[in-house]
Amino acid sequence: MFFAFVLYFIRSAEKGKKPFVRRIAGIDAIEEAIGRATEMGRSVLYIPGILDIDDIQTVAGLVILESVARLTAKYQTPITVPVTYPIPFTIAEEMVKGGYLHAGRPEQYDPNSVRFVSPEQFAYVAAVTGIMLRDRPAAHIFMGSFYAESLLLAETGFATGAIQVAGTANVHQLPFFVVACDYTLIGEELYAASAYLSGEPKLVGSLKGADLMKIAIVTTVVVGCLLESLGIHALTLWMTTQ
């Protein structure tokens, strides 16, 4: 059902029907943060989460990185991307390189801007907080999957006075980012970000499909609650997985 919805809206987008997407303040704040870093003559620090490429949040984080790199290239602001795992590292290099290429400034790409640090969670934290305190980037962008390191990174970032934008679908880390960052993308906003940033109708169409599926789920939940309240268990039993 979900695939059908998504494919339908992608198809209708191809035919020229561009769906509406609401403003996402957190994503707009990314450009503001990069602009501020440019004004201050300092760099931007981008963290695509701490997981490997098999986590879809890392994919989302890396896709957003391309747009961020395009902006940093446009504003001629250095970007630093410390990465935890080797596969996201190679993709991050491609993303940053691609961003500079699309911005028409391939010669400005610094091969040392994307750095492999360590898959070890707290070794990574030590390295990134070190970068925050020594290099003093003016903007910190956290997009991807985060765990216990979220508050350690965001609080250290706050102490340096940087503008911070975060986005994660790891619900238990959201409170830490909300408290310590200026803007936070919550849950699915992270996945919607790449479509929002590119503005490409086909990508936006897939968001519409997900929205329709959500309506279907909400309807099922309401109907299920009503049926259960009336003592009819057929739907619940049909949904049970074990």
Partner 1 sequence: MKRELPLAITAAIGVFMILSFFVPHQAVSVPADFLQASAIIVVAFGYVLGGANVLRVNFDGIYKRQPDWPYKILLLAGLIVTFAIGAIDGVEQHGGFLDQGTRSKWIYDNLYSPMSATMFSLLAFFIASAAFRAFRIRTVEAGLLALAALLVMLGRVPVGDLATHWLPAPARLGAIQDWIMNVPQNAAKRAILIGAALGVMATGLRVILGIERSYLSGEE
Partner 2 sequence: MPGLEVLEKLDRRWLFLIMGLLVLEPLMFPLALPLTVTRPVQGFVDAIDKVPDGSTVLMSCDYDPSGIPEMVPMTRTAFRHLLGKNCKVVITVLWPGGPGLVDSVLSEVAREFPDKKYGVDWVNLGYKSGNEAVMVVMGQGIANAFPRDYRGLDSRSLPVMREVRDYASFPLLVNISSGYPGTKEWVQQVQARFHLPMVAGVTAVSAPEYYPYLQSGQIRGLLGGMAGAAEYEKARGEKGSATRGMDAQSLGHLFVAFCILLGNLIRRRPAEARS
Which helix (H) or strand (E) segment holds residue 93: the answer is helix 86-102
Residues 181-220 that bind partner 1 (CB under 8 A): 186-188, 190-192, 194, 198, 200, 202-203, 206-207, 209-210, 213-214, 217
Name which position in 4, 25, 179, 232 contacts partner 1 (CB under 8 A): 179
What residues line the site for partner 2 (CB under 8 A)? 51-52, 54-55, 119-122, 145, 147-148, 159, 170-173, 241-242
Q: Can residue 3 be called a binding residue for partner 1 (CB under 8 A)?
A: yes
Stretch that binds partner 1, among 23-31, 43-51, 123-131, 228-236 (CB under 8 A): 123-131
List 50, 51, 60, 138, residue binding partner 1 (CB under 8 A): 60
The least CB distance from residue 242 to partner 2, in Å, is 5
Could you tell which of partner 1, partner 2, none binds residue 6, using a CB distance below 5 to 8 A set by kind? partner 1
Nearest distance from residue 169's CB to partner 2, in Å? 11
112 binds partner 1 (CB under 8 A): yes
Q: Which of 33, 51, 59, 71 binds partner 1 (CB under 8 A)?
A: 59
Residue 27 contact, options partner 2, partner 1, none, Cβ 5-8 Å cut-off depending on partner type: none
For position 47 contacting partner 1 by CB under 8 A, the verdict is: no
CB of 233 to partner 1, least distance (A): 20
- Among 31-39, 40-48, 84-92, 226-234, which window interacts with partner 1 (CB under 8 A)? 84-92
Using alpha carbons, select from 54, 45, 48 the residue that is nearest to residue 80. 45
> Could you please report the per-residue DSSP string of 96-128?
HHHHHHHTT-GGG--TTSEEE--SSHHHHHHHH
**For the stretch 52-63, what's the b/e string if a residue is b when 16 or more beta carbons lie within 10 angstroms of its beta carbon?**
ebebebbbbbbb
Check the CA dihedral 47-29-17-218 and report its sign: positive
**Residues paired with residue 108 on neighbouring β-strands, in sequence order:** none
- DSSP characters for 31-72? HHHHHHHHHHT--EEEE--SS-TTSHHHHHHHHHHHHHHHHH
d(CA 88, CA 53): 6
Q: Diameter of the chain by CA atoms?
A: 69
Is 205:179 a contact under the CB 8 Å cutoff?
Answer: no
| Token reading at 177 | 């980012």
Question: Would you give the end-to-end CA distance of the chain in angstroms?
Answer: 22
Q: Give CA–CA dist 101/95, Å, rounded.
A: 10
Residue with Cβ nearer partner 2 (25 or 222): 222
Which one of partner 1, partner 2, none is in contact with 147 (Cβ closer than 5 to 8 A by kind)?
partner 2
Binding site for partner 1 (CB under 8 A): 2-3, 6, 10, 52, 54, 56, 59-60, 62-63, 66, 85-87, 89-91, 94-95, 97-99, 101-102, 112, 114-117, 120-123, 125-126, 130, 134, 148, 151-152, 155, 158, 169, 171, 174, 176, 179-180, 186-188, 190-192, 194, 198, 200, 202-203, 206-207, 209-210, 213-214, 217
